[in-house]
Amino acid sequence: MTLYAKDQHTDSVTVRIRKNFSTQAITQQLKYPGDSLIVYTELLKEPETVIVEASTRTDTVSMGCIVAPETFRAATERPKDFDNFWNAEKKALRSLPMEIKSVALKELSPGFMVSDMEINCTGPKPARGYFAKPINAKPHSLPIVIYFHAAGVNGSWCRSEPGNALRYAKMGEGVLAFDLNAHGMLNGQPDAYYNDLENGALKDYATSGLENKNDCYFRGMYLRLIRTIDFLTSQPEWDGKRILVIGESQGGGQSLAAAGLDSRVSAVVVTVPAMCDWGGTLIGRKGSWPYPFATKYNREKMLAALPYFDVVHVLKGSKATLVVEIGLIDNTCPSSAVFAALNQAAGEKFILTAPYRAHHFTQPAYKKIWEETVNQPKENFIKNYLK
């Protein structure tokens, strides 16, 4: 791996090297000779990750790489009764008669209906979001799209919006589109409602119930997404073939979980997905958000509970087509953790690695190349899949 630095304003470059997303960095100062400068070169022989950061007084740039990504495996054991557990959860869910509350919104676009939806669930909260579809679609003519949200409660990125569902509903020849919020929250409420949840009932939600599989917050989250799939597949317009799930970060983790928990999910498009290989923390590499094994809860109890919800185990054997963007300097959802999960899947994979991408885009100089080589291929896949 070779990284070059050019600078006209200083005679030194500070280089920091981190392996396997460790908090410990090797730091060195290099004298800038006035031309291109090689700041890091090493032959890497073992599966690992490296992030190199080069800084001057005026600029900082980071690059990452991963060695032998196909060799990363789950850091924890998959429970022997994993399938039995989830089969029982799904059986209980489907034994509960589906009760749907639907409030149609005023026409947002001619030819399309959009509804504020609530669907009862065996989890602690119902599934809630916005559902959109063409009004006069023929039976068995439309694919399904479910959009999942990133982590948080009160941010704009956490809330379902009618426009999200409508945008997907208009793709191709029309789509059964659902924008599902992660928490079963009410839709379209004043900011105070979401702020109260953020500071109250949903404070630190992602690390709630870590010591018991029946109390784990992700159990309810996954049940809500299964319930939403069941609702959408019951619609007469579904073509019986295509279910595409889309999400970023936490939404990416939910999307991969959906592909693992429901074999009807046929395609996944995700960006820097979370909830992958939590146990990486235990074996010398960083686990993914929300880092449960970095908490002070009982480790043995967590080892008995969390593998039922870790995407590295949930995704095992999925035959869905996976389109995945991975940031090689992403400290929130490390590339090693994401690959550990993807390596469990059995379907076709299109993996788009961005060596300059953190969890959020922090290096605008690479925006154009990202748009052309990463984002546009994802958008093209969605467009072509929904034709």
Residue ranges per structural domain of the chain: 4-67, 70-385
In angstroms, the CA 73 to CA 137 distance is: 44
Spatial strand order of the sheet with 26-31 comes to 26-31, 12-19, 49-55, 60-66
What pLDDT, on a 0 to 100 scale, did the predictor assign at position 307?
A: 98
Class of the CATH-defined domain 70-385: alpha beta
Give how far the C-alpha of residue 7 lies from the chain's centroid of Cα atoms, to the nearest Å.
37
The per-residue pLDDT string of the chain (387 residues; one tens digit each, 9 = 90 and over) reads 444 545 445 568 899 999 999 888 889 888 877 677 787 888 888 899 999 998 888 888 999 999 999 999 999 999 999 999 999 999 999 999 999 999 999 989 999 999 999 999 998 999 999 999 999 999 999 999 999 999 999 999 999 999 999 999 999 999 999 999 999 999 999 999 999 999 999 999 999 999 999 999 999 999 999 999 999 999 999 999 999 999 999 999 999 999 999 999 999 999 999 999 999 999 989 999 999 999 999 999 999 999 999 999 999 999 999 999 999 999 999 999 999 999 999 999 999 999 999 999 989 999 999 999 999 999 999 999 999
What pLDDT, on a 0 to 100 scale, did the predictor assign at position 58?
A: 83
What pLDDT, on a 0 to 100 scale, did the predictor assign at position 11?
A: 67
SS3 30: strand
pTM of the model: 0.95
pLDDT tens digits along 300-319: 999 999 999 999 999 999 99
Q: How far apart are the first and last CA of the chain?
A: 40
DSSP element (H, E) containing 335: helix 335-342
DSSP element (H, E) containing 225: helix 217-233
Tell me if 282 sits within 8 A of 75, measured CB to CB. Answer: yes
Nearest 5 degrees, angle CA 295-CA 299-CA 302? Answer: 90
Strand-pairing partners, residue 19, are 50
Tell me if 316 sits within 8 A of 343, measured CB to CB. Answer: no
Helix/strand/coil percentages in the chain, nearest 5: 30, 25, 45
Structure token pair of residue 148 = 């999942």
Provide CB contacts within 8 A for 68, sequence distance 6+: 46, 47
What does DSSP assign to residue 155? S
